[in-house]
A and B are shown apart, each in its own frame.
Chain A
């Protein structure tokens, strides 16, 4: 079963508007972390935001916020006041914090392409 699902094939947003990128996840671990990364056309992976499963409040980092709905197993990224430089591929990822702590790998979704229109 897919652990991270990003079903939006491509998103378009007007400059200065807000946009929400969807992510749903599946895990039976009570402790886990959710991440969003940005990959511009140049290829690098840029860390944007992190949400822990026990965090009471939604994470925010500047123009980025994470709409965490634990019961629905969703972790949507909200980008406010979009800029042209936000055009990129966005990946949602999950780290399952196993009891032994042996494996802290990230499992990624397939990504969403965001295009910001001037």
Chain B
């Protein structure tokens, strides 16, 4: 158990819908990262937050957004969902910006 929690574990929804994935980092970790794992793209970095502020963006679609709250938990919002958004979404956390990232169990999103 990495200490990073993600909810829900599984999510099944329809095209065009909007969903919110939630992540609670390890106690004391200030950095939160979101990654997407799909069969065709592999593991890709989406976005990073550090102590409430957006630090870096990767291959994140405009339909996706994220935020980190004062209690350091983070949410990833996915809207206007498409079939191709079906993937395993990971949240990871680390103490500072340049530390080992510990991954949560992931949220498996299926868009039908």
Beta-carbon contact of A101 and B98 below 8 Å? yes
User: For residue B45, which residues in chain A have a CB less than 8 angstroms away from its CB?
Assistant: 105-107
A106 with B101: in contact, given A43-B88, A43-B106, A43-B108 (CB under 8 Å)?
yes
Contact with A along B55-91 (1 / 0, CB 8 A): 1101000000000000000000000000000001010
Q: Smallest CB–CB gap between B90 and chain A, Å?
A: 6
Chain B contact residues, majority secondary structure: strand
What number of A residues sit within 8 Å (CB to CB) of B?
Answer: 24
Bound together, the chains give a CA A56 to CA B4 distance in angstroms of 31
Chain A contact residues, majority secondary structure: loop
* The one of B55, B90, B98, B106 that contacts A97, using a Cβ cutoff of 8 Å: B98
- Chain B interface residue bracket vs A: 20 to 34
A103 with B48: in contact, given A37-B103, A47-B101 (CB under 8 Å)?
yes
Beta-carbon contact of A104 and B2 below 8 Å? no
A1 interface residue per 8 A CB criterion:
no
B25 interface residue per 8 A CB criterion:
no
Q: Give the residue name and chain of the A residue nearest to B97 (CB).
A: A104
Bound together, the chains give a CA A103 to CA B58 distance in angstroms of 9
User: For residue B97, which residues in chain A have a CB less than 8 angstroms away from its CB?
Assistant: 101, 104
Given contact pairs A44-B103, A106-B33, a sample of 7 additional A-B residue pairs in the complex whose CB atoms are under 8 Å apart: A43-B108, A46-B2, A93-B43, A95-B98, A104-B31, A104-B94, A108-B44
Which residues from chain B sit less than 8 Å from chain A, CB to CB? Answer: 2, 31, 33, 35, 42-45, 48, 55-56, 58, 88, 90, 92, 94, 97-98, 100-106, 108
Which residues from chain A sit less than 8 Å from chain B, CB to CB? Answer: 33, 35, 37, 43-47, 50, 91, 93, 95, 97, 101-111
